[in-house]
Chain A
Amino acid sequence: MQFFFEALIGGLLSGVMYSLVALGFVLIYKASGVFNFAQGAMVYFAALTVVGLMGHGMPLPVAIVLAFGAMVLLGLATERFVLRKLVGQPPISLFMATIGLAFFIEGLAPMLWGDAVRPIELGIQDEPIPWLLERFDIVVSRFDLVASGIAAVLVAVLAIFFQKTRIGRALRAVADDHQAALSIGIPLERIWAIVWAVAGFVALVAGLLWGSRNGVQFALTFTALKALPVLVLGGFDSVAGAIVGGLIIGASEKLAEIYLPPLMQAGFGGNFGGIEGWFPYVLALLFLLVRPEGLFGEKHIDRV
């Protein structure tokens, strides 16, 4: 039982990391109805910028602030040179544009900072919390706990921002209907700039946490792929969905990794490993069949 809880907690905490990446997708999807293919590239770019700046002898906090500035600039440039040209175009055009953007950023980041795998030290130890270890004999990483704490705060702030503030409402309005938002005087340019800046910030946080766990490397761009099943499960346009989806994916893949192989071995014989790798996608696929809008996603409203 202890082992079960340990796996569950470990899974939930790593799920939070997926949620962080998924959150960036949700933000942009909510505000522009577009799946931002470049989110993974932004995570990579943000982390690499921090490491690169630290390489020039800057302390971590300064590097983070500057990297945030860079992400905002990137967001503004995206709005100015990509999105503004595509107002009123079908979503698929915007989607294709983000694919192009992804390649651009993936090229730009190593050009600026080099492409070596580099560590990043946040000063949080990735070691078991002694108190839990002694009391319940459960191994819970301090790092994971801090990471999920940060994610939780981020989510709470974003949820309030979307539901309660004037800008948040405008963001949701823009997501529903560009034209109508324009007609009542919501400046699309500014809204998109804000949303890309916020998505950049989320990418920065995700990049720091993922980077300090796995090293800052090109593979960070693939974290985007991990976020996909999370989004399918939780719903592309729900902040809460990104979190719950992340938790479910994280926990289920860990448990599946541990408990499925013996069963499958008994059933089919042979050796089964790496279930963690594909399980989330199968889960997402099943979910698509049953509830395509996800757990918390907004239903497509059709009047007959």
Chain B
Amino acid sequence: MPTQLQPATASYLSVNNIEVIYDHVILVLKGVSLEVPKGRIVALLGANGAGKSTTLKAISNLLGAERGDVTKGSIEFAGTRIDRLTPAELVRRGVIQVMEGRHCFGHLTIEENLLTGAFTRNGTRRQLADKLDKVYTYFPRLKQRRGSQAGYTSGGEQQMCAIGRALMAEPEMILLDEPSMGLAPQIVEEIFEIVRDLNHKEGVSFLLAEQNTMVALRYAHFGYILESGRVVMEGDADTLRNNEDVKEFYLGLSSTGRRSFRDVKHYRRRKRWL
């Protein structure tokens, strides 16, 4: 581990060899381990169905509502085990997930959406208003739309609303699932810029699940690549970005020029990592 990541003390997420089974039969994660150092952005990459969302939900404990279960391994945050906590307890401890597909409360206004994010924090009116202001400085667009029902806002605004709502819970770590989904490239950049900003200024750590490998690796410090429920590669974002295999399989770039889609085979078949 590079020295600048020390000290890896207070808020530090580590997932140790977890296995997740849905409905008692479907094995989705087959021993995933990863770490998020304090104050870092870590990307979790991979194709559809690789297990990115499942990993995040295993950490935030939203699996229970989907009949999923962590059957092996452990998850620790800031030195204590968190695998058996309810989502509400986790949010109180500072770990919050922003779900894939935004999931704003459509019938509530943007501002009400943000306010619900502060549910776990008992504060005075004053403190609540201050927090709102802070979120609005990061997302000026939300301030313009504060009175609109979230269901009628654009996809980008909804993504911002979802992240802003999570911020209201004063998190130390945000599990961000597929923030780029269905958004225009320009908006994707805007959102990732804000994520970087939050990371710099507020010291929020991020675990980021993304299919958009290129963008994610530009903003993250570190990356893991998942395939069929296993981590097949990990490394610094720069290393990963320059890795020939990653380029070929996830960025669609190759030293020998473009190849026919038919020739591109599954990564695992060519090279075994585990």
Contact = CB atoms under 8 A, between A and B. Distances in A.
B231 interface: no
B99 A179 contact: yes
B151 A303 contact: yes
A180 B151 CA distance: 14
Contacts of A170: 116, 119
Contact of A301 (B88, B90, B107): B107
Contacts of A176: 105-108
Interface in B156-194: 165-166, 169
B105 A182 contact: no
A191 to B, nearest CB: 10
B9 to A, nearest CB: 25
A88 B99 CA distance: 15
A6 interface: no
Contacts of B113: 173
B97 interface: yes
Contacts of A178: 65
Nearest to A237: B107
A177 interface: yes
Given A88-B66, A179-B62, A184 B119 contact: yes
A185 B119 contact: yes
Contacts of B165: 184
Contacts of A303: 151, 155
- Among A177, A181, A183, A187, max chain B CB count under 10 A is at A183
Interface string B108-127: 10001101110110000000
Nearest to A184: B117
A22 to B, nearest CB: 19
Given A87-B65, A166-B119, A185-B120, A172 B105 contact: yes
B99 A183 contact: yes
Contact of A169 (B96, B112, B120): B112
A302 B119 CA distance: 27
Interface residues of A, number: 23
Interface residues of B, number: 36
A260 B70 CA distance: 66
A183 B116 CA distance: 11
A172 B149 CA distance: 13
A80 to B, nearest CB: 15
Contacts of A298: 107
B105 A180 contact: yes
Interface string A156-180: 0000000000100110110111111
Interface string A261-301: 00000000000000000000000000000000000001001
B116 A182 contact: no
Given A179-B99, A303-B151, A185 B106 contact: no
Nearest to B98: A183
Contacts of B155: 303
Interface string B16-47: 00000000000000000000000000000000
20 contacts: A166-B115, A169-B116, A170-B116, A172-B108, A173-B105, A173-B113, A176-B107, A177-B105, A180-B104, A181-B116, A184-B166, A185-B87, A185-B90, A185-B91, A185-B92, A185-B96, A186-B116, A186-B119, A298-B107, A301-B152
Interface of B: 60, 62, 64-67, 86-88, 90-92, 96-99, 103-108, 112-113, 115-117, 119-120, 149, 151-152, 155, 165-166, 169
Interface of A: 87-88, 166, 169-170, 172-173, 175-187, 298, 301, 303
- In the A-B complex, the 5 residue pairs with the smallest Cβ-Cβ separation, listed nearest first, are A185-B91, A301-B151, A180-B103, A88-B65, A176-B105
